[in-house]
Amino acid sequence: DSGVTQTPKHLITATGQRVTLRCSPRSGDLSVYWYQQSLDQGLQFLIHYYNGEERAKGNILERFSAQQFPDLHSELNLSSLELGDSALYFCASSAYLGTEAFFGQGTRLTVV
Amino acid sequence: GIQVEQSPPDLILQEGANSTLRCNFSDSVNNLQWFHQNPWGQLINLFYIPSGTKQNGRLSATTVATERYSLLYISSSQTTDSGVYFCAVGQAGTALIFGKGTTLSVSS
């Protein structure tokens, strides 16, 4: 158990819908990262938050957004979902910048 | 941005064999991690190794930062070692960038 908790584990939804994925980092970790893993793109970095502030953006679509709350948990919002958004979404956390990152079990999103 | 290349892309072994996985990266890094993704999709931390050598049971890793590569050694492989091994690197507080992985299949 990495200590990073993601909910839900599985999600099936229709095209055009909006979903929210939740991540609770390890206790005390200030950094939260979101990644998308699809069969053809591998593990792609989406966005990084540090202590409530957006730190960096990767390959995140405009239809996707995220935030980190004062209690340090984070949510990833995916809207206007398309079939191609079906993927495994991971959250990771680390204590500070550049320290060892630990990954949650992922949320498997299926868009039908 | 930084490029991460892993080799070989696929590896098939008999139980008990040894193997070496390689990770090359294109620029200096402050963070390098090896992960094992098991058949259930979980990403399991193996090593945090921006430089030097570490060992954990049958696994060991070496990173030569000045030459921009890292090696993961698996000795006496077991069927439970099957899965995908990822190398990921980060620079100065940035997020980890992943290689495409090495898919390992160990048969009994």
DSSP B97: E
pLDDT recorded at residue A111: 98
Averaged pLDDT, B6-28 = 97
CA distances (Å), origin A80, targets A58, A105, B54: 19, 25, 45
CA distances (Å), origin A4, targets A104, B42, B46, B59: 5, 12, 16, 24
List residues in chain A touching B: CB distance below 8 A.
2, 33, 35, 42-43, 45, 48, 55-56, 58, 88, 90, 92, 96-103, 105-106, 108
pLDDT recorded at residue A27: 96
**How far apart are the CA of A22 and the nearest CA of chain B, in angstroms?**
17
CA distances (Å), origin A73, targets A35, A79, A93, A97: 15, 20, 10, 17
* B36 Cα distance to chain centroid: 8
**pLDDT per position as a tens digit, B42-62:** 999 999 999 999 999 999 999
pLDDT recorded at residue B49: 97
- 3-state class of A85 per DSSP? helix
**pLDDT per position as a tens digit, A39-87:** 877 899 999 999 999 999 998 999 999 999 999 999 999 999 999 999 9
Cβ atoms of B71 and B23 closer than 8 Å: yes
